[in-house]
Amino acid sequence: MQPAIEIRNLGKQYPLVTSQPYIALRDVISNSAKNFLKPGKKAKEKFWALQDINLDIMPGERVGIIGRNGAGKSTLLKIISRITPPTTGHATIRGRVGSLLEVGTGFHPELTGRENIFLNGSILGLKKIEIEKQLDAIIDFSGVEKFIDTPLKHFSSGMQLRLAFAVAAHLEPEILLIDEVLAVGDAEFQKKCIGKMEDISKNSGRTLLFVSHNLGAVRSLCNKVVYLQNGRIKGFGAIDTIIEQYLGDISSTQNKKAAKGNGNVTIESCRLLSGENETSELFLGYPAAFELKFTSKQDLKNIEVAFNIRNIYGDIVTHSTTLDNKIQFEAITNETLTVKASLLSINITPGVYSIDIFVLNNGELCHGYTDFMEFSVINSDKALRPDGFPPHVITFSETNWEMIRHEDL
């Protein structure tokens, strides 16, 4: 049997964008005038977003693509879905492709829900007859039948998402490409979507390529994993092996840049735990722990350990230190210590975060990493709101709501 997706020596190079995301004709003219007057121009800097990708995916395989931000996951998906061309190599795709890099591509706020089903469906590659045939199933799956004939601008963001996903779930391609679209939306609906996708891929033998930070979703949907690191394939194979490799990489200090400090201690690793298991995703409102291992290079007193959690914009959303518990450690030369920080409840809103870790001695930094590892926070049953959190919300407060009636009024 021939592979459904066959990738050979694929590479993608981007010019390193310096200031402007686009070219202005004005600048082209003034630059070429400058170069004319002052010859000897410097070459433009470029970087490889993907390099030497070789991959065979057989029909019916469900492959998850994992890796840190910037590893090339989305670029790979964009090339396979023909949004952007590769710079080198080639790929052969056997079968009708449905790609879902965003939910609700092309939705228009002025059109009604029903009209948007047709528009979005046809952008995704469905024929009008196919949409008509599936229309009732789509509307039913979306759960917004009451509003289906009102303009989309009156829909809440959660309703729009449901409608969009309902259309996407009814695409019936042989090869389905999905990018992180489940990162949004409420837990209940996510479950429904994952269920529908499992149904599509497992029971009908479709090929699935799924990019996600959500390792749980990868585990439940896929039967193989591609692990990308800096634009290259680091691992490809069985789920458990590759995810273990990935977690090992992100928790170890190897290949980590931006180390700082006077070198009196060396951080060996930092693991993220949910219960007893190492993970890269935490559940909203549930406990989690960081486990940091370091070795002392000399006899030290007053050792302090601290961490920052940053959101995707680089803002520090929370910080914690052993000093909060009035704890400081002592270590003798070459002693290895493990410090466990247990968070009673994860109260930052669902999304992708990174952690900075520090070991200090008498207030002086001994060893530290910014952006040491990434993890995601996933919505849970602690926040049952139907539409997820608005994008600007940073923290979650677990709250008990009750109504007190004023009997004496």
Partner 1 sequence: MEKTVTQIHPPKGFSLGLKELWQYRELFYFFTWRDIKVKYKQTVLGILWAILQPLALMAIFTFLFSKTWPIDTGNIRYPIFVLSGLIIWNLFSNAVSHAGESMIHHAAIIKKIYFPRLIIPGSSVLTAFFDFIMGLIVFIIFCFIYKQGSHVSGAIFFLAGIVIILLAAFGAGTFLAALNVKYRDFRYTVPVLLQLLFFSSQVIYPLHSIGQPWLRNLLSLNPVNAALELFRAPLSGAQPDNNIVLIGLASTITILMAGIYFFRKTEAYFADIA
Between residues 63 and 359, which has the closer beta carbon with respect to partner 1?
63
Q: Which is nearer to partner 1, 101 or 135 (CB)?
A: 101
Q: Which is nearer to partner 1, 97 or 284 (CB)?
A: 97
In angstroms, give the least distance from the CB of 313 to partner 1: 20
Retrieve residue 170's tokens. 């009814």
**What is the distance between the alpha carbons of residues 325 and 309, in angstroms, rounded to a whole number?**
18
Residue 298: strand pairing partners? none
CB of 321 to partner 1, least distance (A): 42
Q: Which of 195, 114, 123, 189 is nearest to 155 (CA)?
A: 114
Give the CA distances from residue 221 to residues 70, 73, 135, 330, in Å, rounded to whole numbers and listed in that order: 23, 17, 26, 46
Q: How many beta carbons lie within 10 A of that of residue 306, not counting itself?
A: 19
Burial 68-88 (b: 16+ CB within 10 A, else e): beebbbbbbbbbbbeeeebbe
**Paired tokens of 226:** 């591609």
What is the closest distance, in whole angstroms, from the C-beta atom of residue 271 to partner 1 in the complex?
35
Q: Rounded to an integer, what distance in angstroms lies between the CA atom of residue 281 and that of residue 371?
A: 16
Cα(182)–Cα(119) distance, rounded to whole angstroms? 21
The amino acid at residue 36 is F
- Burial of 287 per CB tally in 10 Å (0-12, 13-18, 19+): middle
Give me the least distance between CB of 130 and partner 1, in Å please.
Answer: 10
In the bound state with partner 1, the residue whose beta carbon lies nearer, of 75 and 280, is 75
Matching residue, tokens 């310096």: 18
Q: What DSSP designation does 253 have?
A: S
Give least dist CB 176 to partner 1, A: 13
Closest contact distance (angstroms) between CB of 9 and partner 1 is: 11
Give the pairing type, strands 364-378 and 281-283: parallel
> Nearer to partner 1 by C-beta: 4 or 225?
4
Interface residues with partner 1 (CB under 8 A)?
14, 21-26, 28, 78-97, 99, 101-102, 105-106, 108, 110-111, 115, 118-119, 122-125, 127-128, 151, 174
Please, what is the minimum distance in Å from the beta carbon of residue 255 to partner 1? Answer: 28
Closest CB to partner 1 among 14 and 47? 14
Complex with partner 1: residue 28 or 394, whichever CB lies closer: 28
Chain CA centroid to CA 144, Å: 28
Give me the residue label for tokens 């948007």. 116
CB closer to partner 1 out of 17 and 258? 17
3-state secondary structure of 392: coil
- Nearest approach in angstroms of CB 334 to partner 1 is 51
CB of 100 to partner 1, least distance (A): 9
Question: By C-beta, is 121 or 368 nearer to partner 1?
Answer: 121
Helical ranges in 102-145 per DSSP H: 113-123, 128-142
